[in-house]
Amino acid sequence: MPLSEACGVVGIASNKQVAYQLYFALRSLQHRGQESAGIATFDDRIKCVKGMGLVHEVFQDNPTDLPGTYGIAHVRYSTTGSSKLENAQPVVASSQEGDIALAHNGDIVNADAIRKELKKQGWAFITTTDTEVMIRLLADEFSNDRDLGRSVRNLMRKIVGSYSMVVLLKNRILAIRDPQGIKPLCLGKLPDDAGFIVASETVALDVVNATFIRDIEPGEMVEINNKEFHAYRIASAKHTAHCMFEWVYFARPDSILGGKYVYDVRRCFGMKIATENPVKADVVIPVPDSGRGHAQGFSEVSGLKYEEGLIKNRYIGRTFILPSKESRELNVQLKLNVIRSRIDGKKVVLVDDSIVRGTTMRKIVDLLRKAGATEVHLRIGSPPIVAPCYLGIDMKTRDQFIAVNRTPEQIATELGADSVGYLSIDGLVECIGIPRNDLCLGCLTGEYPVDIPGEKARFQAKLF
């Protein structure tokens, strides 16, 4: 179990009140962030309600104090900016044409440099997020130009990094995706021709009975209203850089990314692992919930019986999202419990999506040993994580990765397992079905799709 991911976004333009649709869409994206949630709607003016905690905790299942037929929403896990209320989104800023609200998924790698430059010019900032940097720049551009499309284009020329964002200005909603499409964003049509929705994942469309139209393209800006949508290509890149971890872990298995159900891709990962890393054992056990698709595929190819040997407490959130190492460790025992009858006396293949720090996996292996497993073989549905992510995942230093400078045998010893087998990069790429040069594999290869100081860029011969 890895990492933390930076947020989920939704935007809805309708001829009906949108607060409840935004609320349910956000709940379907809760897996993308559990620190804070917020909704902003327009009804003569922008009204924004946000708070710390899960969606239903922030709104207490009753977002009716947010009138309006246009709105955007956000769930957050912090990667840039600390975990506190003032950093919750959407963020609202003023312009000469009225208030603008913005919600964002991703990381802007030059946000600190832009912030420092703007402070020299006398700008003051309320939050520590890259989102505030973006909305302040956008509001400034729009106040000077009054053309929102050109203002977005100018903003995109200044920022570097990953971003899928939604912008609310009066009765206008814009959805913008970075030129390399690092973070997902999709477009759908509401039922009864009521309007349109944009969201990080298709599950947000499903929950409001919207029809999936298509993914928003990298570098594209889509404007939606309650009757139609308009698409504009704002920027382009020679290669895309879709984050491979969306398929490995972040996205819900019932979402569609790149034309495929995420579950089907994860099942393919498991099938590849079984081919690449066979093992003699009695049973295949997934780490719930993210390892299920991988384990199913491994079972099908290996011929080993698939069993549910670990039961997840449904009322506990994703372990990786907890902000401190201590809370993550304590939460494992609360989150998972073993069905001893499925484990005792058996050679177990334990399948999970990834290993980053190894803290959680070490405790799970120990749980299986105590339940009587005679052998524990780990099979991991992604290649080894060996480099930081600067584009939306909370892992910025190499010293936290268990795979750095360790062989699989050494990793197995470190985790208390009998063996460890990883999915190959070639297997990963084949299952996703997108060319290697159009995926972001930075955390696997140390080569990044955007310029990051001190790091190697993709297709760069050497680091100067």
Q: Which two tokens stand for residue 396?
A: 């910025």
**CA 95 vs CA 119, 130, 142, 169, 378: distances in Å:** 19, 19, 7, 10, 54
Close Cβ partners of 442 (under 8 Å, ≥ 6 residues apart): 387, 388, 389, 390, 391, 448, 449
Considering the candidates 7, 268, 431, 443, report the single residue annotated as catalytic.
Answer: 7
Close Cβ partners of 126 (under 8 Å, ≥ 6 residues apart): 86, 132
Examine the residue annotation and report whether 268 is marked as an active-site residue of this protein.
Answer: no
Do 376 and 279 contact (CB within 8 A), yes or no? no
Close Cβ partners of 378 (under 8 Å, ≥ 6 residues apart): 350, 351, 352, 355, 361, 365, 412, 415, 417, 419, 420, 421
**CA 34 vs CA 9, 42, 77, 244, 405: distances in Å:** 13, 25, 6, 21, 33
Q: Which two tokens stand for residue 256?
A: 């569609």
**CA 407 vs CA 2, 120, 274: distances in Å:** 19, 48, 19
Q: What is the DSSP letter of 117?
A: H
Phi, then psi, of 73 in degrees rounded to 5? -150, 165
Length of the chain counted residue by residue: 464
**CA 331 vs CA 336, 380, 451: distances in Å:** 9, 21, 37
389: which strand partners? 395
Close Cβ partners of 44 (under 8 Å, ≥ 6 residues apart): none
Helix or strand (DSSP H, E) at 430: helix 425-432
Residue 342 C-alpha from the chain's centroid: 33
Q: Which two tokens stand for residue 159?
A: 């920022």
Largest Cα–Cα separation, the chain: 72
Q: At what angle are helices 111-120 and 130-145 packed, to 10 degrees?
A: 60
232: which strand partners? 221
Hey, which residues are catalytic here? 7
